[in-house]
Amino acid sequence: MPKDTFFNLPIEKRERFIEAALDEFSLHDYRTASVSRIVAALGIAKGSVYQYFDDKKELYRYLVTLAAETKFSSIDSSISTDASDFFARFKQVVFHGARFDFSRPRFANILYHATYEPSETDILDISAQLKESSYRYIRGLVDDGVKRDDLRKDLDVEFVVFALYQLTISLRDFLSTKFAFSFKDAVRKGKGSPISDAALNEVIDRLIEFFRSGIGKERNRTRRGPAPEKAAS
């Protein structure tokens, strides 16, 4: 997605550029992000950006991809693969995903933006691509969980993937609120208020427990009969 020019750049220069671009796109969404601001911050010529990338969209695509790959591989390299069951593994994924978000708020923000820009018609493909890879990742875990017999047999996998995806993604909002952690501030100031593993664990335990058992009273568990009839009038 970048042109050769970009990869031919001295590493130091390339990284300065990436930093500046991350700053911009993590503080503003695609539309609002400004190429002009990036070059102003870097003190380089506007034309240079277009030596590196075909257009703003390709630059954005690069950053989103970079963020996604970095996050996935960060998670992958952090989880211990010997986790006993599906829930233990998923917990690790969520935990290290959250840790990643807190420690790399610029990446986190970019992924957040890319996830929630459904109206920007001209970057639909980037959002879709990101969602697709997230789904794939989760579906892999779920399929595995089904095989290991950790999950119920009667699940609609598609629905489960959706539910896990949405809650995992939006956990960021919950944490942000609960711990008064501002991702924007974290980007601007370089560092946000640290959140202890214990505190984080507690929240994620709750999430996992929600996934595992829901919120209904346990006695209700004996589901018989044709399920909740006529919700509609």
Partner DNA sequence: GATGAATGAGAATTCATTCAT
Partner DNA sequence: AATGAATGAATTCTCATTCAT
Q: Footprint of DNA on this chain (CB under 7 A)? A: 3-5, 8-9, 13, 32-37, 44-52, 54-57
**CA nearest neighbour of 67 among 104, 29, 117, 28:** 104
What DSSP element (H or E) covers 188? helix 183-189
Choose between 33 and 108: whose C-beta lies nearer to DNA: 33
Check if the beta carbon of residue 66 is closer than 8 Å to that of residue 140: no
103 binds a second copy (CB under 8 A): no
Q: Binding marks (x or -) toward a second copy, 17..56, rule CB under 8 A? A: ----------xxx-xx------------------------
91 binds a second copy (CB under 8 A): yes
Residue 193 interacts, among DNA, a second copy, none and using kind-specific CB cut-offs from 5 to 8 Å, with: none
CB of 115 to DNA, least distance (A): 20
231 binds a second copy (CB under 8 A): yes
Q: Which of 7, 149, 188, 191 binds a second copy (CB under 8 A)?
A: 149
Query: CA torsion 164→100→1→170, rounded to 10°?
Result: 30
81 binds a second copy (CB under 8 A): no
Ranges of H-type helices in 1-116 = 4-8, 11-27, 35-42, 46-52, 56-78, 86-103, 105-115
106 binds a second copy (CB under 8 A): no
Name the DSSP letter for residue 202.
H
